[in-house]
Amino acid sequence: MVESSVSGSDMSRFEVSPRVLLVIPCLNEAKTIDPLLHKLALQRGNMDMLIVVADGGSKDGTIEIVQRLTGEISDLVLMDNPRRIQSAAINLAVDRFGGDRDYLIRIDAHGDYPDNYCRALIEEAESKQADSVVVGMETVGFGAFQQAAAIAQNSKLGNGGSKHRAGGGGEWVDHGHHALMRIAAYSAVGGYDESFSHNEDAELDFRLRRSGFRIWMTGKTYMTYYPRSSASALFRQYLGYGRGRAKNLMKHGSIPKIRQAIPLAVAPVVAGAVLALLHWWAAVPFAVWVAACLAYGAYMAIGQRNMLALFASIPAMIMHFAWSAGFWMELIGFKRKRAA
In a domain, 5, yes or no: no
Q: Is residue 215 within 8 Å of residue 134, measured between CB atoms? A: yes
Q: How far is CA 334 from CA 4, 251, 257, 280, 309, in A?
A: 47, 10, 20, 33, 38
Is 256 inside any structural domain? yes
Pick the residue with more confidence: 6 or 283?
A: 283
Other beta carbons within 10 Å of 170? 11
pLDDT at residue 37 in the model: 95
Q: Are residues 109 and 162 in the same domain?
A: yes
State how many domains the chain has: 2
Asked if residue 225 has pLDDT above 90, the reply is no
Range name among 114-123, 151-160, 323-332 with the lowest pLDDT average: 151-160
Where residue 271 falls among pLDDT bands split at 50, 70, 90? Answer: confident
Residue 203 and residue 93 share a domain: yes
Report residue 200: phi and psi, to 5°.
-65, -25
Q: Which domain holds residue 291?
A: 246-339
Is there a single domain that holds both residue 172 and residue 277?
no
Q: For residue 122, give the CATH number of its domain.
A: 3.90.550.10
H, E, C per residue of the chain: CCCCCCCCCCHHHCCCCCEEEEEEEECCCCCCHHHHHHHHHHCCCCCEEEEEEEECCCCCCHHHHHHHHCCCCCCEEEEECCCCCHHHHHHHHHHHHCCCCCEEEECCCCEECCCCHHHHHHHHHHHHCCCEEEEEEEECCCCHHHHHHHHHHCCHHHHCCCHHHHCCCCEECCCCEEEEEEHHHHHHCCCCCCCCCCCHHHHHHHHHHHCCCCEEEEEEEEEEECCCCCHHHHHHHHHHHHHHHHHHHHHHCCCCCHHHHHHHHHHHHHHHHHHHHCCHHHHHHHHHHHHHHHHHHHHHHHHHCCHHHHHHHHHHHHHHHHHHHHHHHHHHHHHHHHHC
Taking alpha carbons only, the member of 10, 18, 27, 221 closest to residue 110 is 27
Q: Is residue 3 part of a domain?
A: no
Q: State yes or no: pLDDT of 10 exceeds 80.
A: no
Which residue, 227, 254, 273, sits at the end of a domain? 227
- Residue 167, pLDDT score: 57
- Taking the C-alpha atoms of residue 228 and residue 321, their distance in angstroms, rounded to an integer, is 16
Q: How far apart are CA 332 and CA 327, in angstroms?
A: 9
What integer best gives the mean pLDDT of the chain?
A: 86
Pair (271, 197) in one structural domain: no
Confirm whether pTM is higher than 0.95: no
Asked if residue 305 has pLDDT above 70, the reply is: yes
Q: How far apart are CA 148 and CA 114, in angstroms?
A: 23
| Same domain assignment for residues 194 and 276 | no
Closest CA to 328 of 252, 269, 254, 257: 269
Between 278 and 175, residue with greater pLDDT: 175
From 172, 200, 227, the end of a domain falls on 227
Measure the CA angle with vertex 336, ends 332 and 340; round to 5°: 175
Q: Are residues 58 and 141 in the same domain?
A: yes
Asked whether residue 2 is assigned to any structural domain, the reply reads no
Would you say residue 282 has pLDDT above 90? Answer: no
Q: What is the pLDDT of residue 138?
A: 85
For residues 118 and 20, give the distance between their C-alpha atoms in angstroms, rounded to a whole number. 9
11-20, 22-31, 53-62, range with the lowest pLDDT:
11-20
- For residue 3, what pLDDT band results from cuts at 50, 70 and 90? very low
pLDDT of 162: 66
Q: 76-80, 233-237, 294-298, 303-307: lowest mean pLDDT where?
A: 303-307
Same-domain pairing of 295 and 222: no
pLDDT band of 277, cuts 50, 70, 90: low
Do 116 and 193 have their domain in common? yes
- % of the chain exceeding 90 in pLDDT: 56
Q: In the prediction, which pLDDT does 260 show?
A: 67
Residue 233 lies in a domain: no
What would the pLDDT profile of 138-187 be if each residue is shown by its tens digit? 888 888 999 999 999 888 887 776 665 555 678 999 888 899 999 999 99
Residue 337 has a pLDDT of 44
- Confidence check: pLDDT of 6 > 60: no
In this structure, are 170 and 200 located in the same domain?
Answer: yes
Output the pLDDT for position 194.
93
One domain for residues 221 and 308: no
